[in-house]
A and B are shown apart, each in its own frame.
Chain A
Amino acid sequence: MEYVLHIATIAGIFAILALALDLLVGYGGMISLAAAVFFGIGAYGSALLTKGGMSPTAAMIAGMAASTAISMLIALPAIRVRGIYLLIVTIAVQVVFTIVLQNWRSVTGGDAGISNIAPYSIFGVPLRGPLFTVFVWVSCVAWWGILLWVVRSPFGQVLQALRDDEIGAVSLGKDVVTTKLVAFAVSSAVSAFAGALYAHYSTYVDPHTFNITVSIAVLLMVMLGGAGTLSGAVLGAIVLTLLPEVLKFLPLPPGAAAPLRQLTYGALLVVVVFLRPQGLLGRGATPTPGG
């Protein structure tokens, strides 16, 4: 039972992360491999601030604010550059972030990370076990609803129009600059929320949990489930959280499990693009972002 709860909690946290990335990638058409950066800012932020005495909720909000600020590092170039150039910008930020986490030992604890993070609590009441799992999924549904509202709003329509045809949208007067900046701001804030939850749940954060491999996994969750559907992001997160658990039941030589999991991710990425570029829940008729 505890095992099931663990999987459910992790799936829920990554669902929130995937929802955040779907806003950028699916609805905004801006490919990013920096999801783990904002995930990590939220996580480390919560870790450091709660250890410094702040309440978990306040620390979470502070982490979200910091994440939004740092996201401007990618958002500002994203206005001018796209495609592979934007991808490299996001990779650059992701790699530098991991290096900072590993080397700024005085603050981040380096490769050892930060441990003994207290569980999440509201008004001093700690949320443990099934209660926390419920909280994670309630949050996930809440963010799902909010993001649904956002993408259906006029703002969301502009974001999608810019994704579909930036020149056309801009020629009709749509504010490409503010829209992209806000999309990054919202996406990174929600990612940081997920990061805060993660920190309190695992009670321990280290640089390897927030590196490019994780960013790739989150991108896969979005692509697999169907970019630009929101529900696809949640489904993708659930599937990809369950997958390594499924692999555990296969008779594999020792040490092969981890690379095999990554190999499966890679293979899935290729298969999805080949067979069903719109992902599991995407609509077949409409083109995928960039397609």
Chain B
Amino acid sequence: MEQQLALFLNLLIDGISTGCLYALIAIGFSLLWWLADIVHLAHGGVIIAAGYAGHVLISRFAAPLWAACGVALVIAVVLGLSIQRGAYQKLRSQGTGEMGMLTASLGVLICMEYGLAIAFGPEGIQLDAGSARTPLLAGSGLVVDAYTVAVIATTAATFIALIVLMRVTQFGKNMRAVAENHDLANVVGIRVNRVVLGASMLASAVGVPAAVVFLYGRGLQPSDAIHIVLTAAIVAIFGGRGSIIGALIAGLFIGVAESVMVWFFDAGWREAITFSLLYVLLLVRPEGLLGKSPR
């Protein structure tokens, strides 16, 4: 295959892989924001904690992947729930305003990040995907391995599951009702608090595949926490909060855009491009590309 084309396609594939990851980290954040106006900055910390949990099980206890995922899931859900109940709901009932909620969320994120750094050291963790990294289409010049396929498959499965949950299940319908109008949902008998707690469990759960992808991919370090949740926020804003499809499309778009940027710009500037794009978006259309217009 022609050299330049192969390079471009590889960037594209890398972008799609990254984009899937972005979509996974964003959807949990986006759902909570849409549902209850909660800016769950600590989501980044939850994902990293899940990653560390999985890592400990695999590297220190030689547990199989499915077991590690299970434990990571439990830990993520417990963390997410505790933060929801112990922090957000408590503060809301105290009458804390938006700035207080943001500050508290930021505080929890920082605690998690540095707590993990103290417990495990700041260097970060990574797992070797081993044979999953063998290029599948050897000789074509395209870098596609089982890992990439797994990432895309996991993302697809997660999103399909989410869409089904949203459309078909009672819980999904309840979520939509609560997002639409808290008070009205209360009146029709929906336990709003329960739904929000359920959503935060869901948000944490969806973060686990993301953590696994990170582990076997670029690795995780505690200092990634802010970066992760920031990316989640960007994707959520781009895709419109609460929109599952939006998160997927936005995640892929940003992942591919970042990757392809390397074609034109020095790698160091990549992030600057993304953030500049975000800045322009917020100026022009703060509700995101797929969100509903405010006025």
Give yes or no for direct A-B contact (beta carbon below 8 Å).
Answer: yes
- Give the residue of B113, B121, B282 whose beta carbon is less than 8 angstroms from that of A89: B282
A84 adjacent to B102 (CB under 8 Å): yes
Known A-B contacts A96-B275, A99-B268, A291-B99; A266 and B282 likewise in contact (beta carbons under 8 Å) = no
In the complex, are the beta carbons of A260 and B100 less than 8 A apart? Answer: no
A84 to B41, CA, bound (A): 10
When the two chains form the complex, which single residue of B103, B114, B268 contacts A223, counting CB atoms closer than 8 Å? Answer: B103
In the complex, B70 has a CB within 8 A of chain A: no
Bound complex: CA A96 to CA B268 (Å): 11
Q: Range of interface residues on chain B?
A: 35 or more
Task: For A99, give the chain B residue with the smallest CB separation.
Answer: B272
Contact of A262 with B by CB under 8 A: yes
Partner of B269, one of A84, A103, A265, A287: A103
Taking the nearest CB of chain A, how far is it from the CB of B280, in angstroms?
A: 10
Q: Does B104 interact with chain A (Cβ within 8 Å)?
A: yes
CA distance A255 to B120 in the complex (A): 12
Q: Which of A77-108 contact B (CB under 8 A)?
A: 77, 80-81, 83-85, 87-89, 91-93, 95-96, 99-100, 102-103
Name the one of A255, A260, A270 contacting B108, with C-beta atoms under 8 angstroms: A270
Interface of B is mostly: helix
Please determine whether B282 and A77 come into contact, CB atoms closer than 8 angstroms.
yes
User: Chain B, 89-125, contact with A by CB distance < 8 Å: what is the 0/1 string?
Assistant: 0110011111111111011111111110110011000
Q: Is the CB of A288 within 8 A of B99?
A: yes
CB <8 Å contact, A267 and B107: yes
Which residues does chain B contribute within 8 Å of A103, judged by CB atoms?
266, 268-269, 272
Q: CB distance B109 to A266 under 8 Å?
A: yes
Question: What residue of chain B has the Cβ atom nearest to residue A91's Cβ?
Answer: B230
Q: Is the CB of A289 within 8 A of B97?
A: yes
Residue of A nearest to B99 (CB): A290
A22 to chain B, nearest CB (A): 13
Q: Mark A244-265, 1 if CB is under 8 A from B, else 0.
A: 0000000000011001101101
> Is A3's CB within 8 Å of the partner chain B?
no
A102–B117 touching, CB < 8 Å: no
Of A25, A88, A290, which is in contact with the most chain B CB atoms at under 10 Å from its CB?
A: A88
CB contacts (< 8 Å) of B260 on chain A: these are: none
Q: Say whether, besides A85-B237, A91-B230, A260-B114, A266 and B107 are in contact (CB < 8 Å).
A: yes
B39 interfacial by beta-carbon distance below 8 Å:
yes
Which residue of chain B has the shortest Cβ distance to A260 in the bound complex?
B118
Is B249 among interface residues, defined by CB-CB distance under 8 A?
no
Q: Is B276 interfacial (CB-CB < 8 Å)?
A: yes
Are the CB atoms of A263 and B97 closer together than 8 Å?
A: no
A80–B96 CA distance with the chains assembled, in angstroms: 23
The residues of A with any CB-CB pair to B shorter than 8 Å are 25, 29, 31, 73, 76-77, 80-81, 83-85, 87-89, 91-93, 95-96, 99-100, 102-103, 212, 216, 219, 223, 255-256, 259-260, 262-263, 265-274, 277, 287-291
What would 17 more interface pairs be, CB under 8 Å, given A80-B283, A92-B276, A277-B100? A31-B99, A89-B279, A92-B275, A99-B268, A103-B266, A223-B103, A256-B118, A259-B122, A259-B222, A262-B117, A263-B114, A266-B107, A266-B109, A269-B110, A273-B103, A290-B100, A291-B100
Chain A to chain B contacts (Cβ below 8 Å), 27 pairs: A29-B99, A31-B99, A31-B102, A76-B283, A83-B98, A84-B102, A87-B102, A88-B278, A89-B279, A95-B272, A96-B271, A96-B275, A100-B272, A102-B268, A103-B268, A212-B226, A259-B114, A260-B118, A262-B110, A263-B111, A266-B111, A267-B111, A269-B104, A273-B103, A288-B100, A291-B96, A291-B99
Report, nearest first, the 10 A-B pairs whose CB atoms are least far apart: A266-B110, A269-B107, A291-B97, A290-B99, A270-B107, A290-B97, A263-B114, A266-B111, A259-B117, A273-B104
